[in-house]
Amino acid sequence: MELNTLWFWIIAVMFIGYFVLDGFDFGVGMSLPFLGKDDTDRRVLINTIGPVWDLNETWVIVAGASLFAAFPEWYATMFSGFYLALLLILLALIARGVSFEYRHQRPELKWKKSFDTMIVVGSAVPALLWGVAFGNVVRGVPLDADFNYIGSFFDLLNPYALLAGLTTLLLFFTHGVIFVSAKTEGEIRVRARALAIKSGLVTIVVAASFLVWTTLAYGTFASGILAAVAAVALIAAYLMNLAGRERTAFGLMAVTIGFAVLTLFASLFPDVMPASNNVANSLTIENASSTPYTLQVMSWTALIAAPVILGYQGWTYWVFRKRIGRTHIEAAAH
Amino acid sequence: MNEWLDPLLLSRWQFGLTTIYHFLFVPLTIGLVTTVAIFQTAWYRTNKAHYLQLTHFFGKIFLINFAMGVVTGIVQEFQFGMNWSDYSRFVGDVFGAPLAFEGITAFFLEATFIGLWIFGWDKLPKRLHLATIWLTAVGSIASAYFIIAANAFMQNPVAYRINEEKGRAELTSIGELLTNPIALSAFPHTIFACFMVSAGLIISVAAWHLARNQNLETMRPALKFGLWMMVIAGALTTLMGDQLSLAMVEAQPMKMAAAEAMYHTATGANASFSIFTLGTPDGVSELFSIRIPYLLSFLSTHTFDGTVEGINNLQEQYVQLYGPGDYAPIIWVTYWSFRWMIGLGIAHIMVAVAGLWFTRKGRRPQAWMWKIAIWSFPMSLLAMSVGWVFTEMGRQPWLVFGLLKTADGVSPNVSGLEILISLIAFTLLYGALAVVEFRLILKAVQKGPDPATVPDPVSGEIKHTTTVY
């Protein structure tokens, strides 16, 4: 396999890592108004992701930097082209991140509530807009001969991309709610499971429509198979949650998100940013990539670092594997 | 187009604003995480209660600060592509690799182990828990190395060849890129300056409490630690700054000339360093200055009879090399930022030296001395900021020295209006968060350390309360 092909799939894996991990953080954040009846509940919810949200978010930094290094043209075209959408994502991520750290710094309920609002909005906006962004990448956008995006912000809000955004929003929401049911104990666990049963149905309908649309309009035989795996995993996750097997359901949601991202990347390949106006202006793994030398250096780094990173991140999840509930919050001196 | 909506100007303001802001939090993160690790190690070794109190106290301030560093950092990475897409296309093959290394090796380490440290007090064995804060420190320091190596490429491009067909720089040697002479001096200079910022914070906080005669059992050792840390880190920062200026004269002679506002090449005694200059408003002639002969020659070449090239001479050379254009940065910015960096740096090192003298053998300084010591932290932070303003403004008009001008790096397809929107949004959000952050840190500082935790009388174990959000 050529190195630029390898890096195309490594970038895919990094975005899978980001969407699977920060995806449930977004879901937990969005679930605050649905599952958090009082401040203690909301603290239980936030503490389910407390030790890990930062490392989960770091996946997008690593994915972005790797995109820059491996496919500079793709990075430059996508980030300048989606300027306002990425601005909204950045503002949302800032608001969400500081809120986790700041909301517990003062006891007043009004203080906490304003940061809760920032967490909800700061989780929902990226959950929606990452889908919109990737939907547009797959669909193709107008590019000039220098690969610069020549459409407007509103061109990005087309039906296919909006459906992609709605799909990620719902997938992350259900993923997060199932994570809550797998990570908490007591009443909140029961409520989370019940909510995931409801939201799961809507998610299945929306995600299935999106996967069908992707396969028919932009897909290949291979991407169709990947889409089918994603759909089956989503339905299986739903059934497992229905059966009360929350951790299995959570694992299957991760599989769903992983295969959904693979579907998008397989539909793209070997393009990375197809031009909708003129095929000659499309960015591909050939004309967008770095030199073989740079990719080789990066490959060695990734090869050596990957087992270490996966090792200590996995260990972290194992350290914080216990369920938490209201008693933990009430017992902790503040 | 309306000149207010010039994408280049707005993008430069946005990059400057967001970078300076981001780098208010980063030095404190790097300095404090190391300091907290030292306090926790001292507690681990000696079991003395006040070390644990200091660990928790400065740990809390560290965490309030840490979140801001993380979230404002994402903006930095995204901005290269968003606002400087032509720059990204030009340098991606070279500049992207250290950024990717930073993420893969440093950021993951930092982000993972900080979570383990915050939430792991009662979940991990004592020794392992201590290791988590040290690994966080290693991650934060390693990240500084990679980003400074990337920045050094912009100051002094090495390890590349130009691909004319693709119109970009391409990496030829990763080893050479990571051992750029500018990076080798700028990294220790910056890291020791980060320790100065952390020492500045400790001195300010301890002085505030000691002036009120409270929390003596924790704040007295804290003050002593902060003062020593400041003196040692200050000396090392100065030494490395000297190394950096030698490398800078090699790579960017124009920057040194601009730092001194020296228009004509000078040798020996004439290569003097002016401490203060009053010029005519147009900056062309000088009314009054205080000068130290030979000093500029010494700073630039480490000899007393060295020759330092002047702005006008360099301008002529550059016109020959690169074609018509203005190759000097904004002189008043480089001249004054260079002086403020050095002046503030020396000033607060002196405060620390004086502090050690006046507190020797348990002596108590006079009340007015505390009032000066409290300014250590703002001084160190400001010195850090103006230092980077000097480095980056001194690079102008180049984005990558000699290869790409700033004007040629900006995204051609992002409109001035879009950038104005983002500039306003960042200014408002960052401004609001600065107020909240400042108040929270002030409140945590004034509250002081929590009382010492008493070990359980039966088991002798100390029960830590798990930090929960």
Q: Is the pLDDT of residue B263 over 80?
A: yes
Distance from C-alpha of B379 to C-alpha of B360, rounded to nearest angstrom = 24
Mean pLDDT value of segment A152-167: 96
**CA nearest A84 in B: which residue?**
B418
When pLDDT is cut at 50, 70 and 90, the band that residue B4 belongs to is: confident
- Per the structure, how many domains does chain B have? 1
> Which of B104, B170, B463 to probe by mutation at the A interface, max A CB count within 10 Å?
B104
Residue B9 lies in a domain: yes
Q: Nearest CA to CA, how far is A115 from chain B (Å)?
A: 12
pLDDT single digits (tens) B57-77: 999 999 999 889 989 999 999
- Torsion (CA) A145, A143, B405, B76 in degrees, nearest 10: -150
Integer Cα distance of A270 and A278 in angstroms: 16
A121 touches chain B (CB under 8 A): no
Out of B92, B109, B468, the one facing A69 most closely (by C-beta) is B92
Q: Give the model's pLDDT for residue B271.
A: 78
Chain A residues lying within 8 Å of B75, measured CB to CB: 90, 94
Of A66, A101, A332, the CB nearest to B468: A332
Report pLDDT digits (tens) over A237-259.
Answer: 999 999 999 999 999 999 999 99
Residue in A43, A69, A313 closest to B469 by CB: A43
**A29 vs B: CB within 8 A:** no
| pLDDT, mean of residues B210-238 | 94
Chain A residue whose CA is closest to B438: A102
Residues of chain A contacting residue B118, judged by C-beta atoms under 8 Å apart? 50-51
Collapsing DSSP states into helix, strand and coil, what is residue B303? Answer: coil
- Determine the average pLDDT of the residues in B303-326: 89
* A151 CB within 8 Å of a chain B CB: no
CB contact under 8 A, B77 and A305: no
Looking at residue B192, its pLDDT comes to 97
Q: Is B268 left (phi over 0), alpha (psi -120 to 50) or beta?
A: left
Instruction: Tell me which chain A residue has its CA closest to the CA of residue B171.
Output: A294
Domain presence at residue B186? yes
In this predicted structure, what is the pLDDT of residue B280?
A: 60
A303 touches chain B (CB under 8 A): no
- A255 vs A262: CA distance, rounded Å: 10
Residue B53 is predicted with a pLDDT of 93
**Cβ neighbours of A77 (radius 10 Å):** 30
Token pair recorded at residue B461? 């174990």
The residue ranking higher by pLDDT, B467 or A179, is A179
Whether residues B104 and A101 touch (CB distance < 8 A) is answered with: no
Residues 34-63 of A with CB under 8 A from B: 43, 46-47, 50-55, 57-58, 60-62
CB contact under 8 A, B92 and A76: yes
Cβ–Cβ gap B103/A62 under 8 Å: yes
Taking the whole predicted model, whether its pTM rises above 0.80 is answered as yes
Mutation test of the interface with chain B: which of A46, A61, A272, A330, choosing the one with the most B Cβ atoms within 10 A?
A61
| Reported confidence tier of residue B460, pLDDT bands at 50, 70, 90 | low
| Residue A327 pLDDT class (50, 70, 90 cuts) | confident
Query: Looking at residues B271-276, what average pLDDT do you find?
Result: 78
- Residue A111, pLDDT > 70, answer yes
- Would you state the pLDDT for residue B125? 94
What are the chain A neighbours of B425 within 8 Å (beta carbons)? 87, 91
Whether residue A76 and residue B85 make contact (CB cut-off 8 A), yes or no, is yes
- Cβ B78–A316 below 8 Å, yes or no? no
Residues in chain B with CB shorter than 8 Å from the CB of A51 are 115-116, 118-120
Banded model confidence at residue A333, pLDDT cuts 50, 70, 90: low
Model confidence at B387, pLDDT cuts 50, 70, 90, reads very high
């993923």: which residue's tokens?
A: A175
Average pLDDT over residues B156-162: 95
Q: Which residues of B touch A309 (CB under 8 A)?
A: 104, 108
The answer to the question of residue B247 being in a domain is yes
- Per-residue pLDDT for A313 more than 90? yes
List the beta bridge partners of residue A143: A149
Q: Where are the domains of chain A?
A: 9-331
A122 contacts A92 by C-beta, under 8 angstroms: yes
- Option in A54, A75, A146 nearest B88 (CB): A75
Partner residue opposite A319 with nearest CB, options B74, B89, B124: B124
Amino acid at position B463, single letter: K
Chain A interface test: which of B68, B80, B85, B171 (most A C-beta within 10 Å): B85
Size of interface A-B (CB pairs under 8 A): 230
Of the pLDDT bands very low, low, confident and very high (cuts 50, 70, 90), residue B198 is very high
Chain B residues near residue A62 by CB distance under 8 angstroms? 100, 103-104, 107-108
- B226-230, B419-423, B442-446, B449-453: which has the minimum mean pLDDT? B449-453
Stretch B165-192: mean pLDDT, rounded? 95
Range of the domain at B413: 3-252+329-447
Instruction: State the pLDDT confidence band at A21, using cuts at 50, 70 and 90.
Output: very high
Instruction: For residue A210, give how far its alpha carbon lies from the nearest alpha carbon of chain B (Å).
Output: 28
Collect all residues of chain B within an 8 Å Cβ-Cβ radius of residue A105: 64, 440, 443
Q: What's residue B281's pLDDT?
A: 55
Q: Mean pLDDT over all residues of chain B?
A: 91
pLDDT at residue B95, as a whole number = 96
Asked if residues B305 and B268 have their Cβ atoms less than 8 Å apart, the reply is yes
B411 Cα to chain A: minimum distance (Å): 7
Distance CA A169, CA A203 (A): 9
CA A103 to CA B258: how far, in whole Å? Answer: 46
Q: Is the model's pLDDT at A329 over the cut of 90?
A: no
Minimal-distance CA residue of chain B relative to A324: B468
Judged by a CB distance cut-off of 8 A, whether residue A114 touches chain B is no
Question: How confident is the model over B306-313, as a mean pLDDT?
Answer: 86
Q: Which of B44-53, B187-196, B357-366 has the lowest mean pLDDT?
A: B357-366
Which of A79, A102, A334 has its CB closest to that of B81?
A: A79
> So what's the pLDDT on residue B463?
67
Nearest CA in chain B to A302: B104
Predicted pLDDT of residue B457? 66
- For tokens 């970078």, what's the residue? B19
Query: In this model, does residue B170 exceed pLDDT 50?
Result: yes
Of all residues in chain B, the one with the smallest CA distance to A297 is B174
- What confidence score (pLDDT) does residue B395 get? 95
List the single best residue of B14, B83, B88, B112 to mutate versus A (max A Cβ within 10 A). Answer: B112
Percentage of chain B with pLDDT > 90?
75
Residue B150 in tokens: 């990337």
Of B77, B82, B111, the CB nearest to A80: B82
Give me the long-range contacts of B377-380 (CB less than 8 A, separation at least 24): B377/B197, B377/B200, B377/B201, B377/B203, B377/B204, B377/B205, B378/B200, B378/B204, B379/B200, B379/B344, B379/B347, B379/B348, B379/B351, B380/B193, B380/B196, B380/B197, B380/B199, B380/B200, B380/B201, B380/B344, B380/B345, B380/B348
Average pLDDT, chain A: 95
* Residue A158 neighbours by CB under 8 Å, 6+ apart: A136, A139
Q: Do A79 and B124 touch (CB under 8 A)?
A: no
Q: Do A87 and B64 lie within an 8 Å CB cutoff?
A: no
Query: Each residue of B344-354: pLDDT tens digit?
Result: 999 999 999 99
Q: DSSP assignment, residue B461?
A: P
ipTM summary value: 0.93
Contacts of A153 in chain B (CB under 8 A): 418
Of A86, A94, A149, the CB nearest to B71: A94
Minimal Cα–Cα distance from A160 to chain B, Å? 24
pLDDT at B413: 94
- Does pLDDT of B1 surpass 60? no
Show Cβ contacts of residue A217 under 8 Å, excluding neighbours closer than 6 positions: A139, A160
User: What's the mean pLDDT in B17-42?
Assistant: 95
Give the residue from A48, A91, A101 with the most B CB atoms within 10 Å of its CB, the best one to mutate: A101
Chain A positions touching B109 (Cβ under 8 A) are 312
Q: How far is Cα A297 from Cα A276, in angstroms, rounded to an integer?
A: 33
For residue A334, pLDDT over 50 is answered with no
Interface test with B, best of A68, A116, A123, A326 (most B CBs within 10 A): A68
pLDDT value of residue A328: 85
> Between residues A215 and B269, which one has the greater pLDDT?
A215
What's the pLDDT band for A218 if we cut at 50, 70, 90?
Answer: very high
Using a CB-CB distance cutoff of 8 angstroms, which residues of chain B are in contact with residue A86? 78, 82
Lowest-confidence pick of A141-155, B191-205, B218-232, B449-463: B449-463
User: Which residue of chain B is at minimal alpha-carbon distance from A105?
Assistant: B440
CB within 8 A of B152, min separation 6: which ones?
Answer: B180, B182, B183, B186
Q: How confident is the model at residue B292 (pLDDT cuts 50, 70, 90)?
A: confident
